[in-house]
Amino acid sequence: MTSTPVLQASNLVKRYGSVTAINGADFELREGEVLAVIGDNGAGKSSLIKALSGALIPDSGEIHMDGQPVRFRTTLDARRHGIETVYQDLAVIPALDIASNVFLGREVRKKGFLGSVLRQLDKSAMREESMKHLADLKIGIRSAVQPVETLSGGQRQGVAVVRAAAFGKRVIIMDEPTAALGVKESGMVIDLIREIRERGLPVILISHDMPHVFDVADRIHVHRLGRRAAVVRTGDRSMSEVVALMTGAMEPTEEERAGGR
């Protein structure tokens, strides 16, 4: 790989008293790829993701974005760098409409006196913009004024993904985006992930679902005992081999241990 990684972390450490959540972890996300992050419960993958999304400040180690060192103190810091996160627990407000949810916390105000002095929202602009993003990701919702609670679970997650894709300029992190969904709806979200990759945005997908991971990911980051145990290309290993790497039943190759090819 000659191009600079989009997001890279080296030797991250985070300790809580005597517990080590991140134990010298490395991480590398490349341009235009879907990178799956897998690991057993307690392997520390969510701590790693929190460090990358600004929800946790590591004790030591470095994070680089596009080759530049960055420090995220809050999730807002990470957002300013173009990193958006989709959370597993459907982080939308059910009673608000789709456009309000997409623009929640980033509302657009009208131009001129109405917006600057009277602080009036530009609802039609937000609605149109939301519809555009929904269409971009091929989510078949006809109207952005319907409340999110009228949507199915998959469509709701679609709204959360649209929000991330609309504002995430560099990286989309998806934390177990299908954990709360049924089979069919999970399929839709996986389609969305492909759609985002096709638009050139790299995606970090945290998932327990091996078929999904093998379905959509280009590379798999295997997290174990607080650090990166291996990185494998999806085509190079079988599902059971990857699970064996994850549980420690199998040793990775030197190349995989060093971050893969």
Partner 1 sequence: MSSSPTMAAPPSKPTFDVSRVLHQPLFGPLGALILAVIIFAVASPRFLSPFNLSLILQQSIVVGILAVGQTLIILTAGIDLSIGATAVLGTIMLAKTVGSGGAVAALIATLLICMAVGAVNGTLVTVFKLPPFIVTLGTFTAVSAATQLFAGSATYPVQDSVLTFLGTSIGSGTARTTLGVFVLILVYAVTWYALTQTAGGRHIYAVGGSPTAARLAGIKTNRTLFSAYIFTGVIAAIAAWAALGRIPTADPNAFQTANLDTITAVVIGGTSLFGGRGSVVGTLIGTLIVGVLRNGLTLVGVDNLYQNIATGVLVIVAVAFDQFARRRSS
Applying CB under 8 A, among 23, 88, 120, 234 the residue interacting with partner 1 is: 120
Backbone Cα Rg of the chain: 19
d(CA 18, CA 3): 38
Asked if 234 touches partner 1 (CB under 8 A), the answer is: no
First-last CA distance in the chain = 8
Q: Which of residues 197-216 bind partner 1 (CB under 8 A)?
A: 198
d(CA 261, CA 238): 17
Asked if 62 touches partner 1 (CB under 8 A), the answer is: no
Asked if 116 touches partner 1 (CB under 8 A), the answer is: no
149 vs 251 by CB, closer to partner 1: 149
Asked if 109 touches partner 1 (CB under 8 A), the answer is: yes
Minimum separation from the CB atom of position 213 to partner 1 (A): 18
- Tokens coding 175: 């934390």
Site string for partner 1, 146-185 (x = CB under 8 A): x--x-xx-xx--x----x--------------------xx
61 vs 187 by CB, closer to partner 1: 187
CA distances from 13 to 26, 60, 67, 136, 211 (A): 10, 5, 20, 39, 31
CA distances from 235 to 27, 79, 89, 190, 253 (A): 20, 32, 30, 18, 15
Q: What are phi and psi of 86, to 5 degrees?
A: -105, 125
Site string for partner 1, 66-105 (x = CB under 8 A): ---------xx--x-----x-x-xxxxxxxx---x---xx
HEC sequence for 156-215: HHHHHHHHHHHHCCCEEEEECCCCCCCHHHHHHHHHHHHHHHHCCCCEEEECCCHHHHHH
106 vs 233 by CB, closer to partner 1: 106
Query: Residue 259 — left, alpha, or beta (φ > 0 → left; ψ -120 to 50 → alpha)?
Result: left
d(CA 32, CA 204): 11
Applying CB under 8 A, among 132, 194, 199, 261 the residue interacting with partner 1 is: 194
Asked if 188 touches partner 1 (CB under 8 A), the answer is: yes
Asked if 128 touches partner 1 (CB under 8 A), the answer is: no
Asked if 124 touches partner 1 (CB under 8 A), the answer is: no
Which residues lie near partner 1 (CB under 8 A)? 75-76, 79, 85, 87, 89-96, 100, 104-107, 109, 118-121, 138-143, 146, 149, 151-152, 154-155, 158, 163, 184-185, 187-188, 191, 194-195, 198
